[in-house]
Structure 1
């Protein structure tokens, strides 16, 4: 974890009594999610707490004994959003129905940042015919949203499923097409959701294609079908993520694998211990998190509605937490 140079970055060590609703959570569920990735954390202090986790301690006591809550702020307001694993219809071979490709990442894109934009990649046919196609799907709009989510499952004609995960991107910044529709006056902010955007693009094919080009970021995939269908997709730690217990964070501020207490406000408040097991191109800042809702359309609808304030507090091993605290703050 490396903190960007920012004069507004503020760090405060809290107590568990400062966490709203802490005593009411299912700490055992969070503990099992934490153990799924803690063995992959390389630093000695994390290895020590992970070793203790293998002794099957009482979950709430485990967190309270070995961690301290740390509030990290960078001057920006907290924003919670949601993500999910989409399901698309597709095929491993191209046909009249399945003609929109999911691409693996070309070597030159790995070596150059930024690489070509979304428009340059698609209008310029820069990847076609190179054997980079993992699969073809039947809907370019769903493919666009698959790229935003970063992983998904493709339902194949023979009843099988192909799972794909994030392999990298072209290095261009993510730009929200929902925010662009609001800027144009097409919708008001509270009206925008993934379904609203999809329907608008489909009703307006030419203008919709141009709207998708507003986001220059382009995501490449890799096949991860070795992950059982019963488990969640792979996150940034190359382990399956857990619905409503995994969040995507900015690893410059929050270590991947760390427990994170979230206090999400809004219409449906949520107080829950999550585990930072994923990242996302739109997840930037100390107070920014994306909550994983699961797989399929129902999870997608719930995730698409989420855009709430609140705060998030990272749980760090005690020595690390106090070492981060400003001098004189303890």
Structure 2
């Protein structure tokens, strides 16, 4: 639904300069594209014009940035059909302990993508395979079967193939790293290994938190990432069974980033804490700005901190599904993890649509549908003439309950209802021409053979 800038709560109070800088980061790959995007979404190519303007603009304060967005975009409120609000969660980059070599302490491998993992239509050499869809492994030369699930991989299905990037302390650490999609692994010598999502095994993601809620273990209103980790630490046997409810498994690649660099999202650019979001890639385009407004537990679990910020779509996730659905990126470390872990809240979404797609600007060029056929037919059969033909023959209409009436039967059509119906022409009688006999033509009888 189109909106006015003045109608957006908190629009004038946000620091749009921070959002503008994040938007410019997304514009680098958009402007660099030599051809139109392969997807069919119109928004993909329409971002080029505002991106070129952003790359050329010299903007140094929030007021200038706000003016830029108001000149190049129109606000559009979005939500799922039947809902007024969208839904937001949070994510972050974990910082965890690890080792390059296995030991009694570090015994959980972080795997890179196996060479026998295939996605139809995608080259094996591609960087970062899709996070949805079927994934196969090859048996022999031609046979493809579904890839191993989490339980099979945990039990050693791909162990000993040289796929280990590093080793972690627990399967819980690995699970949360896979959920977040990236991590900073602190090694024993003080160095850091940066890992990022590269592929998955093809099974749909099952939130383990939902399983705990459905089983009545953790109340829905108390659910958080911290609650999940606490329960898993206290119930190691149950944690194994719970993990395996989520058959999805993520493989990583090592990325060349320093400790000062932020994680890289699916768009291929560095994420900005508090300004980058993950969206449904099937519906949205990377680089699209969204203004998100809600009351979120930022300061504490019980707080309702006003959140009114312009964010930019730069990432995606298999659990992020729907038009008004976003994962807010909060950065790296324990504090970012605490904030992210308690976010499961409604929020209002305003999508910033480039002016070139503004429906109000193009209304005069929209084609109207053709005239309804019934209107054309009505000109050939005026209602007055039909009313005369359907007029009653002088008998009074029986009322329900009177003699000759049946309360359960359908009411007879009146002159008014008959006038609205176009009578169908009577069927033409079929004329059968007499068969002419040909005295000189010999009739050959063909034998029909039935196939048994």
TM-score, length-normalised on structure 2?
0.66
Tell me by how many angstroms 1:190 deviates.
1.6
Tell me by how many angstroms 1:325 deviates.
9.0
Tell me by how many angstroms 1:50 deviates.
1.6
Contact residue 103 and residue 220 of structure 1 kept, 8 A: yes
Report which stretch shifted further, 263-272 or 185-194: 263-272
Structure 1 or 2, whichever has the larger Rg, is: 2
Are residues 1:243 and 2:273 paired? yes
Q: Which residue of 2 aligns with 1:171?
A: 202
Given candidates 298, 314, 321, the residue that maps to 1:277 is 314
Report which stretch shifted further, 232-241 or 76-85: 76-85
Q: Which residue of 2 aligns with 1:182?
A: 213
CA distance in 2, matches of 1:117, 1:264: 38
Contact residue 78 and residue 288 of structure 1 kept, 8 A: yes
Tell me by how many angstroms 1:116 deviates.
2.3
CA distance in 2, matches of 1:325, 1:165: 42
Are residues 1:16 and 2:53 paired? no
- Listed one character per residue, the Cα deviations across residues 281-329 of structure 1 (whole Å, up to 9, x for unaligned) are 110110110001111111101110111102212212111243999979x
Given candidates 285, 302, 312, the residue that maps to 1:255 is 285
Q: Which residue of 2 aligns with 1:105?
A: 113
**Structure of greater relative contact order (alpha carbons < 8 Å, 6+ residues apart):** 1
CA distance in 2, matches of 1:154, 1:297: 13
- Listed one character per residue, the Cα deviations across residues 79-105 of structure 1 (whole Å, up to 9, x for unaligned) are 110001001111122222111111111
Report which stretch shifted further, 204-213 or 314-323: 314-323
Are residues 1:64 and 2:94 paired? no
CA distance in 2, matches of 1:157, 1:324: 60
Tell me by how many angstroms 1:51 deviates.
1.7
CA distance in 1, matches of 2:350, 2:282: 15
- Listed one character per residue, the Cα deviations across residues 8-47 of structure 1 (whole Å, up to 9, x for unaligned) are xxxx232222311101000111101111121212454322
SS of residue in 1 equivalent to 2:210? helix
Q: Which residue of 2 aligns with 1:4?
A: none
Unaligned runs of 5+ in 1: 1-11
Contact residue 244 and residue 294 of structure 1 kept, 8 A: yes
Q: Evaluate the alpha carbon distance shift between residue 14 and residue 189 of structure 1 in structure 2; reply closer, same or farther with a 3 A threshold.
A: same
Contact residue 80 and residue 264 of structure 1 kept, 8 A: no
CA distance in 2, matches of 1:284, 1:182: 20
TM-score, length-normalised on structure 1?
0.90
Tell me by how many angstroms 1:268 deviates.
1.9
Tell me by how many angstroms 1:180 deviates.
0.7
CA distance in 2, matches of 1:299, 1:281: 21
Unaligned runs of 5+ in 2: 37-44, 121-133, 136-146, 297-303, 368-452
- Listed one character per residue, the Cα deviations across residues 106-148 of structure 1 (whole Å, up to 9, x for unaligned) are 233333624322112222x122111111111112111100100
Contact residue 263 and residue 271 of structure 2 kept, 8 A: yes
Q: Which residue of 2 aligns with 1:89?
A: 97
Given candidates 164, 170, 173, the residue that maps to 1:139 is 170
Q: Evaluate the alpha carbon distance shift between residue 325 and residue 215 of structure 1 in structure 2; reply closer, same or farther with a 3 A threshold.
A: farther
Q: Evaluate the alpha carbon distance shift between residue 298 and residue 120 of structure 1 in structure 2; reply closer, same or farther with a 3 A threshold.
A: same
Q: Which residue of 1 aligns with 2:412?
A: none
